[in-house]
Structures are given as C-alpha cells and as structure tokens.
Amino acid sequence: MSLRMPQPFLRQPGTIALTGLACIFAASAQAQVSGSAGIVSDYMYRGISLSSGKPAARLSLDVDGANDWFAGGQVVSGQLAPQSHRNAQWLGYAGYAERLQSGLSWEAGLSAYAFHGAPDWNFRELFVGMSFENYSARLHYSPDYLGFRERTVYAELNGGAPLAAGWRYFWRGGYLAAPGNAATNRAEGRIGVGTALEGWQMQVSLDTARLRRQGASSGGGYGGYTVAPSSKVHSKVVLGLARSF
C-alpha cells in the first residue's frame, strides 16, 4: 500500500533494476499490478521540461506487493536540451508503506533515475512521506541531483478531490533546495483537472517554476531554459492522454 496520490498517470520514478524488482513483486499472488501507456504534450518534471518542450510517450508499471512493500517504474521518450534526438529515460522506485489506526499513512523508499545517452545525469533519491485522506507530503534527498554535483532536498505537498461529472482536480507545490548554493533553489507547482472513462485517462495541468540559477544558460539541467540574472517564472500548459491496463 503506497501513498501515491490518485493523479492520472503521474508516478514516482527510479531505474531499470528497480523496475525488475516490481516484476518480482508481481509474481506474488497478493500483489496488485497497474499500469498505463500514453502521451503528454510536454514531459514536465518538477516544473522543468525533460523532453525539450516536445510531446513524449510514456509507459508505466506500478506494483503494490505483499506486506506493504511497493515498487514500479516507467520509461519516457524524453529529450534533454543538449541532445539532438530522443532517448529513453528510465525511472523507478521501491519502498515500504504502512497505514496507522488513526488513518495517517507513512512511507519510505528509494527512487533512481537513468538517462540513456547522458549517464552523467543519472541520480538516486531517498524519500519519506506521509498522507491523510486526499493530502500527502514527501521529502526527497539526493547526494548528486541530475549530475549537478550538489546535494539537494526536495519537499512537496500534494492534494486533490473529486469534481462533478467524474472529473477530479489535483495540485502539487514543491521546493528544491541545495544547501550551500542558493542559486540552485527553485519553487514549482502544478494544478490541473483530470478524468477517466472506460480505461482512458485524460488531464490538463498548468506547471509553473520559479528558477533562480543565475548568469548563464541552464543547459540540460533546467530543460534548456536560459535564465536571466534575476529570478524568472516559467509556466506551461500540459495535456495528457493515457490508457490504463
């Protein structure tokens, strides 16, 4: 039983090895397996495009195993800003979650990220989280975030609730901090609506990030944006369509 919020085809990531772990969990008679395949108009990750502003295909697998363990992963046809063509971005996670008698749940685990053709970007994160009803909070720590050679802490709050006619709204607010380097810090958020019909999932969201890296082009690390010396806000409307299985 993981704490993943019920946002259409939005999952926490890791590596191929962890995706293989998900397959091991799937072999258990008690495991619950879900997945989806779809496309998004822009693959946004914490407010930054990892597909150079272009549409991207995505395939995901999520497994809730026995004894409160969970795992999963996804592959995305991303394109980092320095790259001239698309490459697979492998993402996966594994962890443990438990629901308390009070209704509060907690989780802890590891996520890992691998970028084909750009191994310097590969990184791992430890995470801990809590949730209650339609709200959740998570804290992530990475010793080398996206190859920046910086330790980072990322905090996020998530929420959502049903709307009329089968629609649901969702939101997320996050903040990335690099101790000792305030120029890397950034705030980002997402708000949107989604619906599901006969196995299809559709959503539209507004992703916004306030970038603070100063003085030069961000290169791949910030999705190819060139950031002025002062803080700058970037926003993007993202459409998504996926088929559940």
- The DSSP element (H or E) to which 22 belongs, if any, is helix 16-26
218 neighbors 229 (Cβ within 8 angstroms): no
Residue 194 counted as domain residue:
yes
Is 200's pLDDT higher than 70? yes
Residue 160 counted as domain residue:
yes
- Take residue 91 and report the two structure tokens written for it: 């993402």
Is 219's pLDDT higher than 70? no
Q: What angle do CA 56, 58, 62 make, to 5 degrees?
A: 155
Is 225's pLDDT higher than 50? no
Residue 218 counted as domain residue:
yes
In terms of C-beta density within 10 A (0-12 exposed, 13-18 middle, 19 or more buried), how is residue 100 classed?
exposed
Residue 3 counted as domain residue:
no
CATH code of the domain in which 60 resides: 2.40.160.40
Backbone φ and ψ for 183, nearest 5 degrees, come out as -65, -25
Range(s) of the domain holding residue 35: 16-244
Residue 211 counted as domain residue:
yes
36 neighbors 243 (Cβ within 8 angstroms): yes
Q: What's the pLDDT score for residue 2?
A: 43
pLDDT band at 149; cut points 50, 70, 90: confident
Residue 127 counted as domain residue:
yes
Residue 11 counted as domain residue:
no
**What is the rounded CA–CA span in Å between residue 134 and residue 114?**
31
If one counts the domains in the chain, the total is: 1
Residue 2 counted as domain residue:
no
Is 209's pLDDT higher than 80? yes
Q: Which of 163, 184, 165, 166 is nearest to 175 (CA)?
A: 184
Is 134's pLDDT higher than 50? yes
| DSSP assignment letter at 225 | P
pTM over 0.85? The answer is: no
142 neighbors 151 (Cβ within 8 angstroms): yes
pLDDT band at 216; cut points 50, 70, 90: very low
**Alpha carbon of 162 to those of 2, 5, 131, 173: distances in Å?**
20, 13, 17, 19
139: number of Cβ within 10 Å: 15
